[in-house]
Structure 1
Amino acid sequence: MYAIRQGLRQILRHPTASLATFFTALVSFALLYFLGLLLWNLERVVETLERDLEVAAFLKPEANLEAILTEIQAWPEVGEVRLQTKEEALAQLVLDYPYLAEAKDLVENPLPDTLRLRLKDPEEVRKVAERLKNLPGVEEVEYGGELTERLVQVLSGSRLAMGVLVGLLLLNTFFSVMGAIRLSVESRKEALSIMLLVGATRRFIQGPFVVEGLLLTLGAGALALVLGGLLYRGLAQAVQGLLPFVPVLGPGDLLRTGLGVLLLAGVLGAGGAYMASRAYLKEV
């Protein structure tokens, strides 16, 4: 209780420095939380695209279907292969575009038989597509791998950019906490010297400063979770309104990420306060 009371008094004793540290930490943790959720959501989108990725091989009318199927099924990269006949393809087209229902009886079915492949490893899609093109009887090959590959590149670049940004923000927060605690230490130099003379332990002296750092960063972290969570939920609802098939993170995902941010906030607050007070105690 002594450490908590003293920590609160020290915050109130230097409101300007305390507020500067609080808002620095608030901006850092809000950005960390929001960007972390966006990055995780992007990873989930990429995983969904990779899971649903399908390679379509359009066959020529004279293609030897059994020979092609036998060869493809022997490929280790292929998890599943199924045939979509031209009649099935036309029926699906009419189902998607009902206004074609009358036209389909007036002309011969122009659609080809199609083999649709799902791969065990989506990263092999380009290699499998090239092999399909070289098979006799295959007229054309299509796959959605290009979009997935671009998203993976965006994801990799985003991870790097976020890592650099978050690192700078967290360093800024850490040194801001150290500065605020150092100011508290300077204002209590005489009292701390007396406490040391009468036999107070270093841990007892450092306790209020560690509590001060924790209160500043955990308070900022808690508010950052509210602001970052509201911002993410608003953005997620807007995206799902336009693209309902895009997956978004659920409340459990937000909670787990938030707990991670709070843990980091506690480590930064306690660590910065400990280092600042420890430096003073070394000097004396």
Structure 2
Amino acid sequence: MYVLREALRQILRHPTASLATFFTALVSFALLYFLGLLLWNLEKVVQSLEKELEVAAFLQDKADVEALLTEIQAWPEVGEVRLIPKEEALAQLVLDYPYLAEAKDLVENPLPDTLRLKLRTPEAVRQVAERLRRLPGVEGVEYGGELTERLLGVLSGSRLAMGVLVGLLLLNTFFSVMGSIRLSVESRKEALSVMLLVGATRRFIQGPFIAEGLLLTLAAGLLAVLAGGSLYLGLSRAAQGLLPFLPVLAQEDLLRTALGVLLLALVLGAGGAYMASRAYLKEV
């Protein structure tokens, strides 16, 4: 009780410094939590696109289909390859666009036989497409990898930008905690000196300051998680209303990320307070 009571008294004794530390930590943790959820969600979108990614190879009329199937199935990047005859492709086209049903009886089937490939390693889609183009009997190749590649580029750049931004904000939070605790230490120098003289241990003296840092950052972390989680849930529901197939994070994912942010808040609060109070005790 002594540690908690002294921590609260020190926070109230320096409200300006305490509020500055609190809001600095609040902004840092809110950005960390919200941006982390967005990046994780973007990764899920990329993974779902990769699972659906297919490469289509359009064949010439005289292509040796059996030889092509045998060669392509031996490629290590290919998980599955199947032949779509031109008749099946036309039937599917008519099913998707019923108004073509009458026209198909009037003209010859213009669609080619098609090989559709699913890859074990979606990152190799461009290389597989180029290799397919060079095969005899292949007239053209199409794949939906452009969008996935762009998303991967955005994801990579976003990770780097977020890492730099959050790193700077967390350092700012750490030093803000140190500054606030240092101010509390300075205001109690005489009392601390007396406590040392009468035999108080360093841990006993540091306890209230560490509790002060923990209270500031943990309160900021809790509020940041509530605000960031509410904002993410609102955006994800709106996005799913427009795009129902869009994958979003589950409640368990939000809770797991929130626990990580709160753990980081505890480390920063305790670490900053410990370093500031330890520096004073070293001077003494």
Normalised by the length of structure 2, the TM-score is 0.97
Structure 2 counterpart SS, 1:200: coil
Equivalence for 1:35: 35
- The more displaced of 93-102 and 228-237 is 93-102
- Give the whole-Å Cα distance in 2 for the aligned partners of 1:96 and 1:15: 67
- Does residue 4 in structure 1 map to residue 4 in structure 2? yes
Paired residues in the alignment total 284
- Give the whole-Å Cα distance in 2 for the aligned partners of 1:104 and 1:13: 85
- Give the whole-Å Cα distance in 2 for the aligned partners of 1:269 and 1:34: 20
Q: How far did residue 50 of structure 1 move?
A: 1.5
Offset from partner CA, 1:174-206 (integer Å, 9 cap, x none) = 011111111111111111111111100000000
Offset from partner CA, 1:32-65 (integer Å, 9 cap, x none) = 0001111111111111112221110011122121
Equivalence for 1:172: 172
Q: How far did residue 95 of structure 1 move?
A: 2.7
- The more displaced of 178-187 and 97-106 is 97-106
Q: How far did residue 96 of structure 1 move?
A: 2.4
Offset from partner CA, 1:110-155 (integer Å, 9 cap, x none) = 2111100011111221111111111111111001112111111111
Alignment of 1:82-97 (within 5 A): 82-97=82-97
Q: How far did residue 277 of structure 1 move?
A: 0.6
AA aligned opposite 2:184: S
Structure 2 counterpart SS, 1:210: helix
- The more displaced of 36-45 and 162-171 is 36-45
- Does residue 111 in structure 1 map to residue 89 in structure 2? no
Equivalence for 1:193: 193
Q: How far did residue 79 of structure 1 move?
A: 1.1
Equivalence for 1:60: 60
Q: How far did residue 243 of structure 1 move?
A: 1.9
Alignment of 1:138-149 (within 5 A): 138-149=138-149
Offset from partner CA, 1:217-249 (integer Å, 9 cap, x none) = 000000000110011111111222222222111
Q: How far did residue 162 of structure 1 move?
A: 0.6
Structure 2 counterpart SS, 1:57: strand
Q: How far did residue 98 of structure 1 move?
A: 3.0
Equivalence for 1:281: 281
The percentage of counterpart residues that share the same residue type is 83
AA aligned opposite 2:243: L
- Give the whole-Å Cα distance in 2 for the aligned partners of 1:50 and 1:185: 55
- Give the whole-Å Cα distance in 1 for the aligned partners of 2:24 and 2:102: 66
- Give the gaps of 5 or more residues in structure 1: none
Normalised by the length of structure 1, the TM-score is 0.97
